[in-house]
Amino acid sequence: EAVEEEGLLVNTETRTKEVLPADTVVLATGAVVNQELYRELSGRVSEIYLVGDCVEPRCIFEAIAEGFDAGRAI
């Protein structure tokens, strides 16, 4: 329902409001592939790699692995 200083205000299954203590809230709303910069730079730079959600929306672990692999390839 809302992010408050103490945490996240939620509606429970019993329709009551409750604050879940939190110091960080991550809002994940989905992702759309965007390869515009890749296409713009392809052929203009010596190396360029697609990693993470610009390949396709997935979980963070795959993005980290792809970033690691790209870093090792440089």
Do the beta carbons of residue 66 and residue 54 sit within 8 Å? Answer: no
**How many CA atoms lie less than 13 Å away from 36 in the CB half-sphere?**
2
User: CA–CA separation, 65 vs 55, rounded Å?
Assistant: 13
Tokens 């960080």, residue? 24
Q: Alpha-carbon Rg of the chain, whole angstroms?
A: 19
Per-residue pLDDT tens listing for the chain (74 residues): 899 989 999 999 999 999 999 998 877 777 789 999 999 999 999 999 999 889 998 888 999 999 999 999 98
